Structure 1
Amino acid sequence: MVSSMEAPGHTRRMLGLFADLLEYPECVPTSAAGSCAVIVEGLDPGIAADVEVFAAAIEPYDTGSLQELYTQTFDLEATWHPYLGYHLFGETYQRSVFLVELKERYERHEFEVETELPDHLPVVLRFLSVCDDDGLLEEIVTEGLTPVLEKMLGAKKEGVDKEEVDKEEAVDEETERPAESEAEPEEATADGPAVAADPGDDGQQEPPQPYRVLLGALLAVLHEIYGPSRLEEIRDPEPYGPSLMEQPPCQPTMSSDGTPVRLRA
């Protein structure tokens, strides 16, 4: 499913711009974000608006503080680790096979990876932005990139919800409610009865997390061009731990037709 307006070169340019924005920042990429929003607008103005939200959110940062935000977003929470193989296979032998296969595809297309692992999200996007094999591009997107982004964004929402439930369940049911005299003061409203004041509610919404907004925009672009993931499911990876070779092989991720996911040559 490729949009009629999407020439391959146009798609590759978008993927390259997202790669620029998702690299570890050496500067505040407001100009690149603006360019990305302009080109995405031709695909979907709503998605372009999300890229503009990202651009506006990073504008107040200097380079150092944006680098800190990047590290906090992608390095400190396993849900957001920007490595496709980690989300597809966990730290297992199967991931090492996946890395080797990716590297082989890169070499065949004369694409060099310098310091990062081959499955690093910006590296994959950078490769797709220059890959001249449309079939391979679509396969990596629909069987690798899209399912991982779906999992990253969906798992975070589920994780937040579960965390809130756990907090509620952790409250001691035997704890008595405070006496009425200790209750929070109530505020009268102009058009109704008094309501209890919420000391934590200042009427302001929490600002969006810039990089998560950007990942959502990237996923929306991929859905618009290629459709949803072709994988029925991907398993939850284990936390970082023993080396790859110390892990037993895992069952390969299966595509919708029941065959193991294997990148084409």
Structure 2
Amino acid sequence: MKEHDKTVLTLLSLLLQYPESPCPEHGQLRQIASELKFSPIQNHVHGFLDYLEHTPWEQLAQHYVATFDFSEQSTMDLTALLCPDDRKRGQVLATLKGIYTQAGLAVDSGELPDYLPMILEFLSMADREASKEVLGIVRPGMEKLWQQLIKDGSPYAGVLEACLLSTASMSCPQNAPEGGVL
């Protein structure tokens, strides 16, 4: 994977994490974003950075929690969007954790292995095969989350679209079963 692609995935992971109070890195994030090559991704990132810079932290935090923590339709735990059966979801989570472990990523952050920022971090470090395997599992959840964020008019919709654009070349949809592996 090219260094530019790793940077994009890491940046998107940072943008999707809970907003810290206050975020002094906005200037640094904007500098990184200005170096992005793929214009639609760059536009989405700059638009979201504008939102971060012009919205009070308390409002950012409330919106984040309301969007991702209190809504079952827009959780960042992607398999929750796809697996109504907890047993099936548990098997998929174990599969993801196994892929991460085999690739050398320790999963001990307190987050589940289907947490989108963690997935993006993994993709920034993983080889192509492991990336394709993970995306085969979670990409339908990313798409479902993106559609829900669009429906809700969320400023995070652009970041999700950037995630989908930046991972499109890593996944192999023609070989994946319809609707992913879930």
Question: Matched residues in 2 for 1:231 and 1:151: separation?
Answer: 16
Does the 8 A contact of 1:79 with 1:155 survive in 2?
yes
Question: Matched residues in 1 for 2:56 and 2:148: separation?
Answer: 30
| 1:48 matches 2:47 | no
Instruction: Tell me by how many angstroms 1:18 deviates.
Output: 0.9
Task: From the two aligned structures, give the one with the greater helix fraction.
Answer: 2
Instruction: Tell me by how many angstroms 1:55 deviates.
Output: 0.8
| 1:149 matches 2:142 | yes
Instruction: Tell me by how many angstroms 1:99 deviates.
Output: 1.2
Give the alignment partner of residue 85 of structure 1, picking from 74, 79, 86. Answer: 79
1:78 and 1:227, CA in 2 relative to 1: closer, same or farther beyond 3 A? same
1:111 alignment partner, SS class: coil
> TM-score of the superposition, structure 1-length normalised?
0.58
Does the 8 A contact of 1:150 with 1:219 survive in 2?
yes
Match of 1:37 in 2: 33
Match of 2:52 in 1: 58
Give the alignment partner of residue 16 of structure 1, picking from 10, 15, 27. Answer: 10
5 Å-filtered alignment, 1:208-247, equals 209-223=154-168, 225-226=169-170, 229=173, 230-233=176-179
Match of 2:112 in 1: 117
Which amino acid letter does the alignment assign opposite residue 148 of structure 1? Answer: G
Instruction: Tell me by how many angstroms 1:147 deviates.
Output: 1.8
1:226 alignment partner, SS class: coil
Q: State the Cα deviation string for residues 149-195 of structure 1 (Å, max 9, x = none).
A: 212223555x67xxxxxxxxxxxxxxxxxxxxxxxxxxxxxxxxxxx
Query: % of aligned pairs identical?
Result: 26
Q: Find the structure with the greater CA-based Rg.
A: 1
Which amino acid letter does the alignment assign opposite residue 33 of structure 2? Answer: A
Does the 8 A contact of 2:99 with 2:134 survive in 1?
no
1:111 and 1:31, CA in 2 relative to 1: closer, same or farther beyond 3 A? farther
> TM-score of the superposition, structure 2-length normalised?
0.81
Question: RMSD of the TM alignment (CA)?
Answer: 2.5
Match of 1:202 in 2: none
Does the 8 A contact of 1:50 with 1:217 survive in 2?
yes
Does the 8 A contact of 1:84 with 1:144 survive in 2?
no
Q: After the TM superposition, which parts of structure 1 deviate over 6 Å for at least 4 consecutive aligned residues?
A: none
Instruction: Tell me by how many angstroms 1:39 deviates.
Output: 4.1
